Chain A
Amino acid sequence: MAVQAVGSTGRVRVAPWNDPVIRGWVFQIVVVGLVGLLAWYLVSNTMENLQRQKIASGFHYLEREAGFEIGDTMIAYSPASTYARAIFVGLLNTLKVAVIGIILSTILGTLIGVGRLSSNWLLARICEWYVEAFRNVPLLLWLFLFYKLISEAFPGPRQAISMLWNTVFLSNRGLYFPVPMTDPIHAWMGLALLIGIAGAWVLHRWARKRQDATGQPFPSILAGFGVALGLPLLVWLLGGAPHHMSWPELKGFNFDGGTVIQPEFTALLVGLVLYTSAFVAEIVRSGILALHKGQSEAAAALGLSRGQSMRLVLLPQALRVIVPPMTSQYLNITKNSSLAIAIGYPDLVASINVTINQTGQAIENVLLIMAAYLSVSLSISAFMNWYNKRIALRER
């Protein structure tokens, strides 16, 4: 109290070199100056080296023709496309792996985390072994193993394993399966799906409100699915139900038609999901264990089954503990997908690596990699923070 009184009545006069505020600023300016000096030193060296070695600089190369082919593209791409498009194709591939990987490893990880707490001793032990085995071995090793196994265990395309009455083919070129031919109706079906999802959400809101007000439940999840999937189906039927399929068939060296999941993608996805789900499982488990025992006892006392108490009482509460570490696992999946380069899946880093080799402009390209990953990371963080706030305990 006395200290506060002294502080509030007036400042003690000290010499400028003993004043903590002034000292702080001097220190900061010195440090920032040193960092600036280091940066200037590196930049000036770089400029000098670039000039001496006549390496071009700037981002103009992005508009030039890339000239190389990419094995797995989500959008139209040919060697005549620009470097910018090649890099964008890589970015889309990275996002594809990351999004599917996040969804699958969340599901698998949750199952295994809950499995570790099972009352069945054998199931709990198997889940534990799974976690230990995958956590303690480098991801890259798993990727190599899965890739080699896939490319050596499956036969070539001419001896492909055919399944489901010769419509699906499995070979070391990947899994080929039929898809519907592109039709103008697909765009309308996509639109209908969006409208359906919006409708389902409105329905869900309404059902919640009604349950809060009257206590009468409404099967909003089932109805929501019905609306979301029914609308596109309706559009399809109204559009004359076009059912031309593109069937995969062996033509020359490879299958033609249909669509394919390539071995590189499969190996990367399987490796990422199995590895990350081991970490997710630990997070889920510790999240559930962090709950007070009274919660599960109370749920049991209410007559809920173990499954119900897990789904309705424990997991929703555990989510609050789980979400922050889960965010960093999601970031890890995104960053780890860059290991694709080792097994030849054309992700962002692989595309940019080829670009570095063809253009020789390392600095610009490394900056692009960093900017791309930073923005993806920051968006995932932002989304998860928003979600975390939403589910946080609302205290009065």
Chain B
Amino acid sequence: MTDMPVGERRQLAPPVDDSGVLGWIRRNLFSSWANGLTTIVLVLAMGWVLSWFLEWAVFTANFTASTGAECRGQGACWALIREKYRYIFFGSFPYEQHWRPLFAVIAMLAMLILSADRRMWNWRLIVIWGVGSFVTFLLMFGQLHLPLSLVLFIAMVVGASGMSLRKGIGSPTEILAYRVAAAVGLVGLVLRIVGVLPGWSLAIAPLPYVETGLWGGIPVTIILATYGLAFAFPYGILLALGRRSNLPLIKGLCVGFIELIRGVPLISLLIMASVMLPLFLPSGVTFDKFLRAQVAVILFAGAYIAEIIRGGLQSLPKGQFEAADAMGLNYVQKTGLIILPQALRVVIPPLINTFIGFFKDTSLVLIIGIFDFLNTANQALVDPNWAGFPGEVYLFAAFVYFIFCYSMSRYSKYLEYELNKGTRR
């Protein structure tokens, strides 16, 4: 630099125009010769692949054939999807009743979309899930029996959590109401178990009963993922709190459980649920196959959720815990009113990612013979009339999975952005 004689300036070319379409292309695709070469090779490769794909999937494809034989020797056989889409979506659910799983799916999607709205993150969430689940299962089963023990159990849980959460906050009548609910629930449940109370149940039966063995397709996938996560959530929270606790035995139990579950593949838990669970129960008590798979998914999901929530708990500054202690709140109040609301806020985006993961991973239940969406798609290939078009069916299934997962992952990105607004400078 210093060698350059003073006063003698080299004439530099004017800077390359990088505005406009041409400029954009020059800047982003041909900024150097290597870059330009890459672009040309990529364009050629893409053109080749795309033209081949379009030829197969659109121009020579058959959309109207009535048997597989008519489709053969041409491009994609989308007529197969046209023929089988109802089976792929709803499995062996009675054909003329297909509107039921359809509306059940809509109900569950509405439930999920509503719970994704931040304005709903309060008591409304409980109402949404209560109503949504009731509608979903009423449609799927056709008939529901609400046993007395379930009502008593809910009363006990609501009463007990109200008692500890509202202690010193709620009015005396409110506290009394919680105490009564808890006591009635507990006593009733004990009486029921001992056998004093008979097994009353409330039957709601507007539609013909459809057993879980006939469920299939997209509702099964959504139910397994949604309720897998919904039930795993409270116990994941307990595991996370246990892992962060100062009590050595509790901590040991939780760490052991979490690491055990996270260390083994989901398949091993599913195999366990399908062949071992019957051995764990007293003879004569059996679980529905579907419920068994659901239990395995819940067990599995809990450990993963616990780790995510632990991340949220760790992100809270110590001052929050100390402030809650200073205010004289008990452990339940401190956790339920101060810590968890803040911790859960942080972990919602990773939770959605976990949900996406489970939405995909529930496809493993096909190994123990449950007809989720991937399995019904697979079964559509079995029909010998239509055999030999795996590409079409799997691409279709992949497309449906993609729509679900991609929209959820976009939402989680958006939410992450929204939630970080406050802390971003």
Contact = CB atoms under 8 A, between A and B. Distances in A.
Contact of A148 (B35, B38, B390, B401): B390
Contacts of B397: 141
Given A140-B364, A342-B366, A342-B367, A373 B283 contact: no
Interface residues of A, number: 54
Interface of chain B: mostly helix, strand, loop or mixed: helix
Interface string B251-268: 001000000101111111
A163 to B, nearest CB: 22
Interface string B367-399: 100000010001000000000101100110110
Contacts of B406: 132, 136
A283 B42 CA distance: 24
Interface centre among B260, B262, B404 (most CB of A within 10 A): B262
B264 A136 contact: no
A144 B248 CA distance: 46
A59 to B, nearest CB: 16
A373 B264 contact: yes
Contacts of A136: 356, 360, 401-402, 404-406, 409
B409 A141 contact: no
Contact of A145 (B31, B268, B391): B391
B374 A119 contact: no
Interface string A46-85: 1011101000000000000000000000000000000000
B22 interface: no
Contact of B360 (A138, A373, A377): A138
A374 B46 CA distance: 43
Interface centre among B264, B282, B378, B395 (most CB of A within 10 A): B264
A341 B369 CA distance: 13
Interface string B43-57: 100100000000000
- B: contact size bracket: 35 or more
Interface in B181-219: none
Interface centre among A25, A120, A148, A331 (most CB of B within 10 A): A120
A120 B360 CA distance: 32
Interface string B265-282: 111100110011011111
A188 to B, nearest CB: 39
B364 A42 contact: no
Contact of B265 (A27, A119, A152, A338): A338
Interface string A369-394: 11001100110000000000000000
Given A28-B250, A32-B253, A374-B264, A121 B283 contact: no
Contacts of B29: 120-122
A79 B200 CA distance: 57
A31 B250 CA distance: 8
Contact of A119 (B28, B46, B253): B28
B283 A362 contact: no
Interface of B: 28-29, 31, 35, 38-39, 42-43, 46, 246-250, 253, 260, 262-268, 271-272, 275-276, 278-283, 356, 360-361, 363-364, 366-367, 374, 378, 388, 390-391, 394-395, 397-398, 401-402, 404-406, 409
8 contacts: A32-B250, A45-B282, A119-B31, A122-B42, A126-B42, A136-B405, A141-B374, A342-B367
What 7 pairs between A and B have smallest CB-CB spacing? A121-B28, A148-B390, A136-B405, A335-B265, A138-B360, A377-B263, A338-B265
Interface of A: 24-25, 27-29, 31-32, 35, 42, 45-46, 48-50, 52, 119-123, 126, 132-133, 135-141, 144-145, 148-149, 152, 331, 335-336, 338-339, 341-342, 349, 353, 356, 362-363, 366, 369-370, 373-374, 377-378
